Structure 1
């Protein structure tokens, strides 16, 4: 096993700085897809790299050697180092797998609890009798817009429509799937946690733009988001909102409002050169990570043929 197997484990650390620039440099929709693809791609490659590190060490086990028809270990490296690396990689894989299972179970339990509180009807709008202002898009079949009576009292009718349009955009765009993918990717590699915040911001900005187009008034959309955020400042700590449920009051609301009003940097796209550099930096991390994992896999395959007493080109 050559040293390129380590590159997929290092690439997420290099991708994190570029990810922080993506949401501001690119359009919200493009930023969403680029960040999601980066998170999933880097998580998959780093997981594959760990699996590739396990195999050479496992080849020292008699049962593995018999099953693989191996006449020698898969590497000529120092056995102590190879076995130690394989043991550490296997431990990390088991730990991350357990974390994934726990996260999925918690996610499903949160959604089940939230949907139970929202009621069992198929109506799009679910009104909760709660004085604490809150509103969010609840994923499921069908997806629902959940709003408390406290939030309804805090907004006028036009602002409510803008708020509902925002949450409807999350549901129709299936943004919860993208956010969940980033959450799970972060469990596979800790450096990918840095992509969660810019992705969340890009998702909210995407829904902001859809809501503004739906009501035909950017100022109205900005006012609705701002007032909802002020009214629901203390609601998130008390409400039944699941972790992957997206809400108009999430993220840096002042920055989002400024973008809707044309006063922030987001409304004026970054120079084409800057956008290309930022996008290329993220894509390069994914490409290098994938190519390294593939190269390491090919190298492992050659080592297996050699260990079986065959010619690697035969």
Structure 2
């Protein structure tokens, strides 16, 4: 456990960088799926390795601690302070995860409490311009009268196409996976931001494909962003959400078809993460067997 158990913890820092590099060279849909999957893999390895480190604290508890004074040479896989630090990091991650889940549930309750939708659409008579996709079974679109007054007929078509994409593609699930992963593993915080931005790019591209006018989509996104308050809606997904400037610039160029071979580096990193975790778990099993042999 002296080497392999630490490798996934170190490699987690490389995952956001690799995902960012690869995501800029593939379509937004591929970027979202790959980045969220990598976040889940990296977090699983992170939690597993920290748990293995924390479990070595049992060596300091009775009855195992009694054998230390008898000179039996029980394996000491990691220093006690390292194990204690791992337990503290795990506990802090659990608290952050609970807060993130509670925050998302609170926002979703607030959006659903606005009113009952009709045919998948709810128009709120509010002056503030915003529109969001509200996931559920079924989900619906929430649009304010202020947003409808702001946009003309063609721009409204872009708005509805963008928000329907969020619902139809279940973007909230990909965003939640990345956000929960970042809560448990703070090294993945940049990756959660990347996924939130990429799902908006994905919805932009779906809207552009539906209306057949990338410039119109770019203009609508910019117009909604200047009028709406995206911060108020976080973590809900809105037309005027993450990275508006970058999204407008991307819409002014063709959508990258992308070469999925650029994802090989990220896939190799995830494979190494899993392999190192399996080896570390095997090492821990060997240590645990040595401990148990003293108790039998």
Q: Is the 8 A contact 1:19 1:194 kept in 2?
A: no
1:151-175 per-residue CA deviation (whole Å, 9 max, x = no partner) reads 1111011210111110000011110
In structure 1, distance between residues paired with 2:219 and 2:34: 29
The residue number in structure 1 matching 2:249 is 258
Q: Is the 8 A contact 1:56 1:75 kept in 2?
A: no
Match status 1:236 vs 2:220: no
Match status 1:302 vs 2:293: no
Shift of 1:221: 2.4
Shift of 1:90: 1.4
The residue number in structure 2 matching 1:69 is none
Shift of 1:196: 1.8
In structure 1, distance between residues paired with 2:194 and 2:103: 23
Q: Is the 8 A contact 1:12 1:285 kept in 2?
A: no
Match status 1:208 vs 2:204: yes
Structure 1 residues 13-162: aligned runs within 5 Å: 13-62=13-62, 75-76=75-76, 82-117=79-114, 119-121=115-117, 123-162=119-158
Q: Is the 8 A contact 1:139 1:171 kept in 2?
A: yes
Q: Is the 8 A contact 1:2 1:299 kept in 2?
A: no
Q: Is the 8 A contact 2:107 2:235 kept in 1?
A: no
The residue number in structure 1 matching 2:173 is 177
Shift of 1:91: 1.6
- Shift of the 47–122 alpha-carbon distance from structure 1 to 2, 3 Å rule, reads farther
Q: Is the 8 A contact 1:133 1:149 kept in 2?
A: yes
- Shift of the 254–107 alpha-carbon distance from structure 1 to 2, 3 Å rule, reads closer
Shift of 1:268: 4.5
Shift of 1:299: 0.9
Shift of 1:75: 2.1
Q: Is the 8 A contact 2:19 2:35 kept in 1?
A: yes
The residue number in structure 2 matching 1:276 is 261
1:160-206 per-residue CA deviation (whole Å, 9 max, x = no partner) reads 01111100000111101110111111111111011122212221111
Shift of 1:120: 2.8
1:106-141 per-residue CA deviation (whole Å, 9 max, x = no partner) reads 221221112102x13453111122212111111222
Shift of 1:250: 1.6
In structure 2, distance between residues paired with 1:4 and 1:163: 49
The residue number in structure 2 matching 1:12 is 12
SS in 1 for 2:36: helix
SS in 2 for 1:120: coil
Query: Any stretches of 5+ residues in structure 1 without a counterpart?
Result: 67-71
Q: Is the 8 A contact 2:27 2:256 kept in 1?
A: no
SS in 2 for 1:186: helix
RMSD, aligned CA: 2.4
Q: Is the 8 A contact 1:59 1:73 kept in 2?
A: no
Q: Which runs of 4+ in 1 moved over 4 A?
A: 63-66
In structure 1, distance between residues paired with 2:198 and 2:213: 20
In structure 1, distance between residues paired with 2:144 and 2:8: 45
SS in 2 for 1:130: coil
Shift of 1:49: 0.4
* Structure 1 stretch displaced more, 198-207 or 38-47: 198-207
In structure 1, distance between residues paired with 2:16 and 2:73: 37
**Number of matched pairs:** 290
* Structure 1 stretch displaced more, 54-63 or 2-11: 54-63
SS in 2 for 1:126: strand
The residue number in structure 1 matching 2:276 is 292
